């Protein structure tokens, strides 16, 4: 698949490698023929986002695992410094995961959560009640609107182990053993 843009450093390196003795230097930008597909017509790869929120005696947190189409894992554990209920933590995990995916330039995303309530509210199956829930839902929908396509799926807890472990991680500990094959 062709790349959408050339990196500035690669272009600078290319220009520096020209022989300075040659006087007829030229940089030619080729336009693709009109009958070929434009870059917008190429399918964008799908990324997978696993999110989970947790509340326990140590506080509340979120676990986020973003998986690239090549299988690379970007993991994030967030500890909240504010009071949160279980559903708040689930929404915070999803919202922060969506923000990370946007920062990575993701266009197509499959988001997976083990919170049936949050997934159904965002997908329109359940009605949001309460001002706090409505705010979380609006924020989530606004972020989803920035992607080309998003699929939000509910998965069993066993299929969300990595995000769950990150959400429950004790942030007072310095070391955390992580098994990438879980």
Q: Which CATH class is domain 46-167?
A: alpha beta
Cβ contacts of 78 within 8 Å, gap of 6 or more: 61, 62, 63, 64, 92, 93, 96
pTM for this structure?
0.71
DSSP state letters, 141-181: HHHHTTSSEEEEEE--GGGGHHHHHHHT--TT-S-----TT
Q: What is the 3-state secondary structure (H, E, C) of 23-87?
A: CCCCCCCCCCCCCCCCHHHCCCCEEEEEEEEEEECCEEEEEEEEECCCCCEEEEEEEECCCCCHH
Other Cβ atoms within 10 Å of 138 Cβ, number: 11
Mean pLDDT by 10 residues, the chain (182 residues): 52 51 44 47 82 90 93 91 91 96 95 94 87 92 96 92 85 51 46
The per-residue pLDDT for 151 is 95
Q: For residues 129 and 173, is the Cβ–Cβ distance under 8 A? A: no
Q: For residues 54 and 157, is the Cβ–Cβ distance under 8 A? A: no
The per-residue pLDDT for 145 is 96
| Helix, coil or strand: residue 108 | strand
Map tokens 């310095």 to a residue: 174
The per-residue pLDDT for 37 is 47
Q: For residues 64 and 96, is the Cβ–Cβ distance under 8 A? A: yes
The per-residue pLDDT for 130 is 86
The per-residue pLDDT for 30 is 40
Q: Tell me the β-bridge partners of 135.
A: none
Where in the chain are all domains bearing CATH 3.30.420.10? 46-167
């Amino acid at each position: 698949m062709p790349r959408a843009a050339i990196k500035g450093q690669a272009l600078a390196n290319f220009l520096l490698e020209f022989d300075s003795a040659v006087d007829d230097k030229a940089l030619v930008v080729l336009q693709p023929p009109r009958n070929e597909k434009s870059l917008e017509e190429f399918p964008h790869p799908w990324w997978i986002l696993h999110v989970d929120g947790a509340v326990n005696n140590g506080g509340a947190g979120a676990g986020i695992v973003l998986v690239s189409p090549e299988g690379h894992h970007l993991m994030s554990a967030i500890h909240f410094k504010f009071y949160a209920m279980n559903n708040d933590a689930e929404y915070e995990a999803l919202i922060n995961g969506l923000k990370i995916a946007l920062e990575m330039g993701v266009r197509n995303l499959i988001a997976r959560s083990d919170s049936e309530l949050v997934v159904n509210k965002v997908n329109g199956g359940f009605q949001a009640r309460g001002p706090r829930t409505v705010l979380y839902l609006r924020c989530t929908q606004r972020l989803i609107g920035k992607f080309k396509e998003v699929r939000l799926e509910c998965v069993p807890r066993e299929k969300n182990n990595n995000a769950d472990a990150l959400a429950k991680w004790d942030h007072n500990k310095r070391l955390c053993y992580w098994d990438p094959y879980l």
